[in-house]
Amino acid sequence: MIFIAAKFKVLAEHADAWPDLSRSFTEATRAEPGNLWFDWSRSVEDPTEYVLLEAFEDDAAGAHVQSDHFKQAQAELPAYLAETPRIINTTLESSEWSELGEMTVER
């Protein structure tokens, strides 16, 4: 699996609107063959920062960056950003979530 974590610093005046501004890109990416997840979270410490966690089966990420919706996002979304997003991109053997054993919940 290809796992990607990216931090997006959004201009303060657009921070609340970021989910709507990125919605078409998000929905199109989630619909791609090979996409495992594409999930945004907002920082609790910095309301202008969003973290994107995404995963693709093997080589599906290559098709993602060649897609029309990716190219459209490249053209449109930087206008709402305060800086170039930062990214970690790696390949993992597993594509399944494991339980965090150190915080087992027993009810």
- The domains located in the chain, with CATH, are 2-93 (3.30.70.100)
pTM tops 0.75, yes or no: yes
Residues in the chain: 107
What's the rounded Cα separation, in Å, for the pair 102 and 106?
12
Q: How far from the centroid of its chain's Cα atoms is residue 53's Cα?
A: 4
Q: How far from the centroid of its chain's Cα atoms is residue 59's Cα?
A: 17
Instruction: List the pLDDT tens digit at each of the 107 positions of the chain.
Output: 999 999 999 999 999 999 999 999 999 999 999 999 999 999 999 999 999 999 999 876 677 888 899 999 999 999 999 999 999 999 999 888 899 999 999 99
